[in-house]
Amino acid sequence: MLHADATGDSRQEKQADAFAAEFLTPQDSILPFLPRRMDLARLAELRGVWGVSLHSLVYRCRELGLISDATASRTYQRLRALDGQPGFTAESVSNFPGERPSLLGRAFELAASEAGLSISRLAHELAWTSERVQNLLDVQEQKPVLRLVQ
């Protein structure tokens, strides 16, 4: 630590919080989805989409000027009271599916069409399972359709 004064620490803490909020929930991307009035049900839905806590979403609403400090404080109190209730328990990030890299899938499609690359060949080259490659590329392997012939 370079400075032991509390004002520097709190300033750094605020800067760190602001950075994390913008990194995890970029203003331009999340603003259209945030409620203009406090709506815990809506924030609970967004939690699953964005993979952040309800507290983080309340913080973001306050930071973006959608709610007042007083509303944020009351909401944090309400969340403490609801802790452990269905829909308000902390969720593990392992349940969050994450993002799907769209450019990676397009690059694979290009390599498949121009060089004949297949998922199984790519999986072999990477020493991964075909399922892992399919998941990463967000593609489903086409399985043959079986039909009953009489």
Give pLDDT tens digits for 43-87.
Answer: 989 988 888 889 999 999 999 999 999 999 999 999 999 888 777
Interatomic CA distance for residues 112 and 119, integer angstroms? 9
Exposed / middle / buried, residue 54 (Cβ in 10 Å: 0-12, 13-18, 19+): buried
Contact between residue 88 and residue 44 where contact means Cβ atoms under 8 Å apart? yes
Interatomic CA distance for residues 28 and 62, integer angstroms? 15
Radius of gyration for the alpha carbons in the chain, expressed in angstroms and rounded: 23
Tokens representing residue 79 in the block: 């969340």
Q: Is the predicted pLDDT of residue 1 greater than 50, yes or no?
A: no
Exposure string of 57-66, with b = 16+ CB inside 10 Å and e = fewer, is bbbbbbbeeb
pTM: 0.58
